[in-house]
């Protein structure tokens, strides 16, 4: 089995958890058999701006450790001109995989996961970070709670990026998964990247946890989907459910006009979060 050495500490690779472009995530054990996740980034092909974006992500992740347990732990990191190693807390499962495998969601579990996601995103907003690409794969289940594993600051070093322009910013790698489109903010509202964009994305995740599909999943043609996401005339369907507070949260998150959309602070005060099952 291969080993990774970070700041003089040796780790044994158990398996690769995931990979994207120039980064790989491994599940590793230290000499005391404690499990960690190690994120490795190959910087050989990266340009200065990309390297800067990774350093920025690490700086913020390191700084925000102290503010919330809903931010993945970063224990140590090693940055050289050719690679980055990040020693992190290892979760059991990412929310995307969990959603794909689970047909029904327990209402109390959903409410608790929602509270965790709101707390994580509230913390990054309070420190001036807007993720703007939140999706289930950005959250990991660690024991019984959800933790945010990245802030959307580091560039995706992806091969053949066929990205689409959104609000004059290069956004999602289309080829990665059409789903980010659905979580992405309705881009017809020009203007700066707003924290309200993250509320839309979180709304889409909660919609998934409630109805088992994303708000626009039925639309398979990506261009039609894009037009529908931004079309104010298209009404998103909210099938009746017993939890009226949950229905209200969904309807207030999935409002196309960001100014009319509910804020994270208001969501944290919403009756849905009072933890009576």
Ligand X SMILES: CN1CCC(Oc2ccc(-c3[nH]nc4cccc(OCC5CCCCC5)c34)cc2)CC1
Stretch touching ligand X by CB under 6 A, among 63-71, 86-94, 169-177, 225-233 = 86-94
Closest CA to 84 of 50, 114, 113: 50
Q: How many angstroms from the chain centroid is the CA of residue 128?
A: 16
The residue sitting closest to ligand X, measured at its beta carbon, is 18
107 touches ligand X by CB under 6 A? no
Which one of residues 39, 122, 166, 261 is an interface residue with ligand X (CB under 6 A)?
Answer: 39
DSSP conformation class of 93 = E
DSSP conformation class of 138 = G
| DSSP E strands, the chain | 3-6, 9-20, 23-29, 35-42, 74-79, 83-88, 93-94, 139-142, 145-148, 163-166, 169-173
223 touches ligand X by CB under 6 A? no
Stretch touching ligand X by CB under 6 A, among 75-83, 93-101, 105-113, 191-199 = 93-101
Stretch touching ligand X by CB under 6 A, among 63-71, 92-100, 216-224, 258-266 = 92-100
Stretch touching ligand X by CB under 6 A, among 4-12, 54-62, 82-90, 109-117 = 82-90
Which one of residues 6, 58, 87, 90 is an interface residue with ligand X (CB under 6 A)?
Answer: 90
Question: CB 21 → ligand X: shortest distance, Å?
Answer: 13
Which one of residues 93, 144, 170, 241 is an interface residue with ligand X (CB under 6 A)?
Answer: 93
Structure tokens at 63: 């700084």
In the block, tokens 């970063």 appear at 74
Rounded to an integer, what distance in angstroms lies between the CA atom of residue 160 and that of residue 120? 31
Rounded to an integer, what distance in angstroms lies between the CA atom of residue 124 and that of residue 195? 10
Which one of residues 21, 91, 186, 215 is an interface residue with ligand X (CB under 6 A)?
Answer: 91
Binding-residue pattern over the window 54 to 73 for ligand X, x denoting contact by CB under 6 A: ------------------x-
> Which residues does the annotation mark as catalytic?
133
Q: State which residue, 26 or 114, has the beta carbon closest to ligand X.
A: 26
Rounded to an integer, what distance in angstroms lies between the CA atom of residue 133 and that of residue 151? 9
Question: CB 205 → ligand X: shortest distance, Å?
Answer: 14
Q: State which residue, 41 or 226, has the beta carbon closest to ligand X.
A: 41
**Please, which residues have CB within 8 angstroms of residue 37's CB and are 6 or more apart in sequence?**
17, 25, 26, 27, 28, 88, 89, 90, 91
Provide the binding-site residues for ligand X, judged by CB under 6 A.
17-18, 25, 37, 39, 72, 88-91, 93-94, 97, 137, 140, 149
């Amino acid at each position: 089995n291969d080993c990774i050495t970070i700041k003089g500490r040796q780790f044994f690779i158990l398996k690769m958890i995931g990979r994207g472009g120039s980064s790989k995530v491994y599940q590793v054990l230290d000499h005391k058999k404690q499990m960690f996740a190690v994120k490795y980034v190959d910087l050989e092909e990266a340009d200065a701006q990309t390297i800067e974006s990774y350093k920025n992500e690490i700086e913020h992740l390191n700084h925000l450790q102290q503010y919330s347990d809903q931010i993945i732990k970063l224990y140590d990191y090693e940055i050289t001109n050719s690679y980055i190693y990040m020693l992190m807390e290892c979760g059991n499962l990412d929310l995307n995989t969990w959603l794909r495998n689970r047909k029904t969601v327990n209402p109390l579990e959903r409410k608790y996961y929602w509270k965790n996601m709101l707390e994580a995103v509230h913390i990054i907003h309070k420190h001036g970070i807007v993720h703007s690409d939140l999706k289930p794969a950005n959250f990991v289940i660690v024991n019984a709670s959800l933790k945010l594993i990245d802030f959307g600051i580091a560039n995706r070093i992806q091969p053949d990026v066929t990205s689409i322009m959104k609000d004059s910013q290069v956004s999602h790698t289309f080829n990665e998964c059409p789903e980010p489109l659905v979580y992405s903010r309705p881009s017809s509202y020009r203007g700066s990247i707003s924290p309200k964009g993250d509320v839309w994305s979180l709304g889409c995740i909660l919609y998934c946890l409630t109805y088992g599909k994303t708000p626009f999943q039925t639309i398979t043609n990506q261009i039609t989907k894009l037009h529908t996401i931004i079309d104010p005339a298209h009404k998103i369907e909210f099938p009746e459910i017993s939890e009226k507070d949950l229905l209200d949260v969904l309807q207030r998150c999935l409002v196309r006009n960001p100014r009319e959309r509910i804020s994270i602070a208001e969501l944290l005060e919403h009756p849905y979060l009072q933890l009576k099952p």
